[in-house]
């Protein structure tokens, strides 16, 4: 396991006082170690949603298991098709679920239902709506089908012996169905990652406490809970810890003993005269950064060892929007890595800016935005008013973050901007 100093020495142009967002992710990819192959469990499909596969799933069978019809119609040998109408004698009906017993000879066809096995020698299905039927004579007009049409091939979805899903895949609804289609009742997944969270700061009130001058209710605890729960990790909620060395020490030690990762908010900015940073420094191997981004400039990152194990520490800033932005930009990919999952860079949407935005090159900015489709079909992004890093309502109103890249300057109306959509993430 590398120390903070060793990782820093590996990174080009590492300056803890002016890191780019990209450098932060590169650093975290070196710091965070995935769960080991041994840290797995076998779970039934209903319990596997959102879990991460710990091994490749190899198909024990082919899906579909036979060539079969994709339509209700008539199966025949496509080689007989030409430029003239083709008349064939219908010799029976094949239903889905059981093989048709007879033989279909040249000049003959077989009525077939969707999903029914294609009898040997037949490779084409003409849909019922394209043919003329007269008694047991079926006439196919020229040009309505080509040889091979409307037949699903054995194994065209999954072939026996091939990997149907790869280790590191996060199982979504489609993957659950895919596992079931192979006849497999369960999958081997990594154990759930455990993430402990607490809020810090003397001015932070827990719910239920009476309001007092200068104090604010703890909102970060709930946004972080939501963000973590959406990721499928086991959340260890540790509440609000006041700025008092003994309580901070106990909280960090308990979190490190129990969790794979610790997230805190508050107390990491430059001017802080509190004990949070001092305790992180005392208990762990921790770097204190200023990141070239807005919101979310200060952040602490490192490891804390306790009870013979090591936990990754993410000391997020205190401002509610900064917490969410740094989580999405850095913590989320780092936790995906920890969970054994393939890290999924968000797919950014391109939209036209509906307004001018001031932007200084040299930092990444995450503006809360709404993307709407205009009458002419184009996607237009606008900011949600006040972009203060404490204005949590801007996150609620927004449907995504407008990501203004590090080198980008001012944005004019109509310029293309990139948007990280919240859909499914937060």
Q: Which residue is nearest to ligand AMP (CB)?
A: 318
Nearest 5°: CA angle at 70, between 67 and 75?
A: 70
Exactly one of 119, 302, 317, 333 binds ligand AMP (CB under 6 A); that residue is 317
Who contacts 239 (Cβ-Cβ below 8 Å, separation ≥6)? 198, 199, 206, 221
> What span, in angstroms and rounded, lies between the C-alpha atoms of 345 and 354?
26
For 58, counting Cβ atoms within 10 Å of its Cβ (0-12 exposed, 13-18 middle, 19+ buried), the class is middle
Choose between 92 and 390: whose C-beta lies nearer to ligand AMP. 390
Query: 426 in helix, strand or coil?
Result: coil
DSSP state of 64: S
Q: How many CB atoms lie within 10 A of CB 230?
A: 13
Token pair 């899906």 is found at 63
DSSP state of 80: G
Looking at the Cβ atoms of 34 and 390, the one nearer to ligand AMP is 390
Any idea of the CA torsion for 274, 279, 281, 287, to the nearest 10 degrees?
Answer: -60
Which one, 135 or 271, has the nearer CB to ligand AMP? 271
Q: Which stretch binds ligand AMP (CB under 6 A): 10-18, 37-45, 61-69, 315-323?
A: 315-323
6, two tokens: 């060793």
| Binding string, residues 384-413; x marks residues near ligand AMP by CB under 6 A | ------x-----------------------
**How is residue 40 written in tokens?**
């797995």
Total site size for ligand AMP, rule CB under 6 A: 18
319 binds ligand AMP (CB under 6 A): yes
Query: Is the Cβ–Cβ distance between 277 and 250 less than 8 Å?
Result: no
Judged by beta carbon, residue 29 or residue 216, the one nearer ligand AMP is 216
- Contact partner, 317, from ligand AMP, Mg ion, none, Cβ < 5-8 Å per class: ligand AMP
Tell whether residue 320 is a contact of ligand AMP (CB under 6 A). yes
Of 20-28, 57-65, 84-92, 199-207, which segment contacts ligand AMP by CB under 6 A?
199-207
Interaction between residue 124 and ligand AMP (CB under 6 A): no
Q: Report the run of H or E that residue 285 belongs to, with start and end.
A: strand 284-290
- Considering only 59, 199, 384, 394, the residue that binds ligand AMP (CB under 6 A) is 199
Nearer to ligand AMP (CB atom), residue 241 or residue 335: 241
Q: Is the peptide bond before 64 cis (omega within 30 degrees of 0)?
A: yes
Q: Can you list the positions of beta strands (E) in 67-176?
A: 68-69, 73-76, 86-94, 108-112, 124-127, 132-134, 137-140, 151-152, 163-165
CA distance 322 to 391: 10
Residue closer to ligand AMP, measured from CB, 201 or 346 = 201
Q: Is residue 284 at the binding interface for ligand AMP, with CB under 6 A as the rule?
A: no
The verdict on 295 binding ligand AMP (CB under 6 A) reads no
Report the alpha-carbon distance of residue 231 to residue 235 in Å, rounded.
Answer: 10
Q: Return the residue of 267, 284, 296, 302 that touches ligand AMP, per CB under 6 A.
A: 267
Contacts to Mg ion by CB under 5 A: 201, 266-267
- Of positions 119, 155, 201, 400, contacts ligand AMP by CB under 6 A: 201
Phi, psi of 399 (to 5 degrees): -110, 10
Contact criterion met (CB below 8 Å) for 323 and 268: no
Residues 348-387 contacting ligand AMP, CB under 6 A = none
Which member of 73, 119, 155, 266 binds ligand AMP (CB under 6 A)?
Answer: 266
Surface-to-core class of residue 102, CB atoms within 10 Å of its CB (0-12 exposed, 13-18 middle, 19+ buried): exposed
> Could you tell me the smallest distance in angstroms from the CB atom of residue 424 to Mg ion?
32
Residue 198's beta-bridge partner residues?
264
Residue 179 vs 227, nearer CB to ligand AMP: 227
C-beta of 233: minimal distance to Mg ion in Å? 26
Stretches 17-25, 130-138, 184-192, 217-225: which one binds ligand AMP (CB under 6 A)? 217-225
Shortest Å distance, C-beta 218 to Mg ion? 12
- CB of residue 281 vs Mg ion: minimum separation in angstroms? 16
Question: What are the residues binding ligand AMP (CB under 6 A)?
Answer: 199, 201, 203-204, 216, 218-220, 265-267, 269, 272, 317-320, 390
């Amino acid at each position: 396991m590398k120390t903070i100093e060793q990782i820093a020495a590996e990174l080009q142009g590492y300056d803890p006082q002016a890191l780019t967002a990209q450098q932060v992710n590169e650093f975290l990819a070196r710091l965070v170690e995935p769960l080991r192959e041994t840290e797995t469990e076998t779970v039934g499909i209903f319990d596997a949603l959102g879990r991460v596969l710990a091994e490749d799933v190899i198909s024990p069978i082919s899906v579909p298991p036979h060539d079969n019809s994709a339509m209700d119609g008539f199966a025949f040998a496509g080689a007989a098709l030409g430029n003239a109408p083709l008349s064939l004698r219908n010799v029976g009906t094949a239903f889905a679920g059981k093989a048709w017993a007879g033989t279909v000879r040249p000049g003959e066809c077989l009525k077939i239902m969707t999903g029914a096995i294609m009898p040997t020698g037949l490779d084409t299905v003409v849909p019922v709506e394209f043919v003329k039927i007269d008694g047991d004579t079926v006439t196919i007009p020229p040009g309505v089908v080509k040889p091979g049409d409307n037949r699903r091939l054995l194994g065209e979805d999954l072939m026996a012996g091939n990997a149907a899903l790869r280790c590191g895949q996060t199982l979504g609804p489609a993957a659950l169905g895919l596992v079931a289609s192979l006849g497999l009742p369960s999958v081997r997944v990594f154990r759930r990652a455990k993430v402990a969270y607490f809020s810090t700061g003397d001015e932070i009130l827990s719910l239920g406490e009476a309001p007092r001058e200068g104090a604010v209710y703890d909102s970060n605890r709930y946004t972080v809970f939501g963000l973590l729960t959406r990721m499928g990790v086991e959340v260890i909620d540790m509440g609000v810890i006041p700025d008092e060395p003994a309580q901070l020490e106990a909280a960090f030690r308990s979190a490190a003993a129990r969790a794979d990762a610790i997230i805190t908010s508050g107390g990491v900015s430059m001017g802080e005269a509190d004990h949070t940073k001092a305790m992180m420094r005392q208990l762990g191997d921790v770097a204190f950064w200023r990141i070239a981004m807005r919101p979310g400039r200060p952040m602490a990152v490192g490891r804390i060892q306790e009870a013979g194990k090591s936990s990754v520490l993410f000391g997020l800033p205190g401002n509610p929007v900064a917490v969410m932005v740094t989580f999405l930009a850095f913590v989320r990919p780092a936790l995906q890595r920890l969970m054994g999952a393939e890290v999924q860079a968000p797919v950014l949407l391109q939209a036209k800016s509906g307004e001018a935005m001031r932007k200084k090159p040299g930092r990444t900015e995450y503006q809360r935005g709404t993307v709407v489709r205009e009458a002419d079909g184009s996607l237009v992004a606008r900011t949600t008013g006040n972009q203060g890093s404490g204005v949590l309502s801007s996150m609620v109103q927004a449907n995504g973050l407008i990501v203004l890249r590090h080198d980008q300057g001012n944005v004019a109306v109509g310029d293309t901007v990139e948007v990280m959509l919240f859909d499914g993430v937060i």
